[in-house]
Structures are given as structure tokens and as C-alpha cells.
A and B are shown apart, each in its own frame.
Chain A
């Protein structure tokens, strides 16, 4: 019985670790509906939008993700290949609107679409 319990525990811990790695590795992107995935940023590559997005980022996001999106002890960096290349602008828009509440990321729908797109312009400019 103890051996079986230990095996079960090992399986559960391994499964939990795999899940955590998968989520941390951008598994949220698999939840994005196709319609949202395809959305495009109306402010794409506009310098004003990048500057405004930087201001919104500093106001609302920097205390968790760092002043320059480098991440903090508890929250991930956003200057990553996943954010800059793998995720589409539509994916990021979906994430900001819906959040990832189980993992501590709140919804930011209160900012409204224009400011959300401005933040995305800023994040995509971080090369």
C-alpha cells in the first residue's frame, strides 16, 4: 500500500510539474479562439502608439513585470521570444482582455481596446 501511494504521489507530482511547465511555457496560447488569434493591431508600428503603450505599461504592468518588462521575482519577463515572435498580436489582446486569473494575471478589459493595443505595440517593439 505505501509503495502504491508513493507511486501515485510521484505520478501526481510529475503531472503537476508538467502542467506548470506547460502553462509557464505559453500554453495559454492554445486557449485563444481562432477569431481572436487573427485579430490585428490597428496601431501596428506607430511610434505614438508605442510611446503611449509604454506609458500605460509603466502605470499598470511594470510593478509586476518590471520597469522594462524584464520580469520580477514573482512574475515573468515579457521581453521573451514568445511574446515578441510566437504570440500574435491577437493572442496578446486575448490574454490582456481575459487575463490568466488562476495564475495571478488579472483581466485588463477596463483599459479598453485602444489602450490594450497600445500596450501590445510597446511589447512588440521590445527587441
Chain B
């Protein structure tokens, strides 16, 4: 494992160790799809997500990112990511950063709740696959890191997030449009997901493996080409089950195997993540704060 990845892991463990209070989140088990649910104001969610895959004709990789998600207002969530990747028989590199903001324009719960997403990213050689757009696919993984890291991607990504909660089910749809700030065309993608806690009622007593601590669902995502060649041809598509479990300490572990649906996709992607939420993060630094 590379030095940078070790440093990232060390940082995550350090942050967990200084988070003194128990915290819980009830997060959806999605890796690519966003739901309409925002971070609660003042809470900081630290997330460490990974994608492991072996593209045909290329080396196995693990793309990782660490995310800091903060609830600024009930209707505004901001998030900062740092990305990296390890490629077998190649190297470990830091691939860049992203900064996203999500805004919820309607301030009550409706059948369908829209959220506007805007992100700036500055990456190169990224393998986290946090979204699939344009003609993303297996050929993107063919180059060694020394070559792929020269391809700087400064991009603006926008999403229309639509989400609904109905009888315990969450249904989320994302429509993605991304523009490289160089002279590339707009690229499009989508992600849809549905999930539900295994138990809707809370237990009256403390428990570790009770049903409400688990959430499971299905996630599907893929590219839709670009403005000159819109559609699902020559782009990758994935579908797979997804699940998470919330430990009594508040740490959430997530796992999802995704399966490529065409030759342009990586045959199998294994995604796993660790999340931890710190309640009222900034107030801990105030006199008399929690």
C-alpha cells in the first residue's frame, strides 16, 4: 500500500479518535447516487470511500476518496473531497480534489424533492468512479499513472437530484451534466437508486445487529454520451446491490458490488466505505460547547 494512502488512512483514524461523542447518521447506502437528504446543520460527516476493480487489459486498482461533508444550513450542504488511487504494478498517486455544494430550493417535503448540485473538480488519473459521464469506460484505465496524471481535468459538474421518501423507501434519481473547462463538450450521465432500512421501527433497547441498523437497496448508474453523441453507446453502465450497517458507535460501513452491463464497463467493481458523523462540529470549539 502506498505512502499517501497510508497517510489518508492514518488521518481518518486520527479524526475518528478525536471525535469523542457518539454520533449517528442514518445515511443511505449509496456510493454514486445522491438522495435529497441534506446534512443536518452544524454536523460534519467524514466519509472514506473506495472502488476496487480490474479493467480488461489493465491493472487492478483501488480509487479512494476522503470527504468532509458539512451542513451549513438546512437547505445547503457543502463537501470537500481529496482523491487518490493505487494501481497494481504501477504506483500510488494523489489525484486531486473536489468541492461541491448542494442546495434544496423547496423547503418542505414533497412527493419529489429537487436538489441542485454544483461541483468543481481538479483531478488527474482519477479512478474513484464517483460518477460516470460522457464516454467513460475501460479505455480510460489503459494508460499507466505516469501518463494519466498528465491529463488535468478541471471540470464543473452539475446534477439535478430528485428524491422521494415513501413508506420507508427512498427513491433517488440524479441527472448529471459535466463540462471540462477546456474546450471539451458537455458530457451527461445518470444514477438511480432505491433503498430501505430492513426495519422501520426503532428497538426499545440498545442493539448492534437489529434490523433498523441495516439498509439495503439497488443502485444503477452510467454515462449518456456527450452533446455530439448522446446515448448509451460507447459508455459504461453498472448495476448492483448496495447495503450499509450502522455500528453502535455511529460508524457506518457500506459495501456494494457493481456489475458492468456492457463491454465498455469494468466487469466487477467492489465499493466499500466508512463514514462517521460528528454532531455540531463547530460548537465543540466554543466555550461551553458540547
Contacts and interface: CB of A to CB of B under 8 A. Distances in A.
Nearest to B205: A51
A48 B205 CA distance: 9
A59 B25 CA distance: 8
A53 B202 CA distance: 7
Interface residues of A, number: 29
A109 B165 contact: yes
A59 B74 contact: no
- Interface core residue of A49, A102, A114 (most chain B CB under 10 Å): A114
Specify the main secondary structure of chain B where it touches its partner: loop
Contacts of A106: 38, 40-41, 71, 74
A60 interface: yes
Interface stretch (A2-10, A12-20, A80-88, A93-101): A93-101
Given A63-B280, A106-B41, A52 B75 contact: no
Contact of A111 (B26, B38, B203, B205): B26
Interface in A90-127: 97-99, 101-102, 104-107, 109-115, 118
A113 B206 contact: no
Interface string B223-246: 000000000000000000000000
Nearest to A119: B202
Interface of B: 24, 26, 28, 35, 37-38, 40-41, 71, 73-75, 104, 107-109, 165, 167-168, 170, 197, 200-206, 212, 279-280, 288, 290
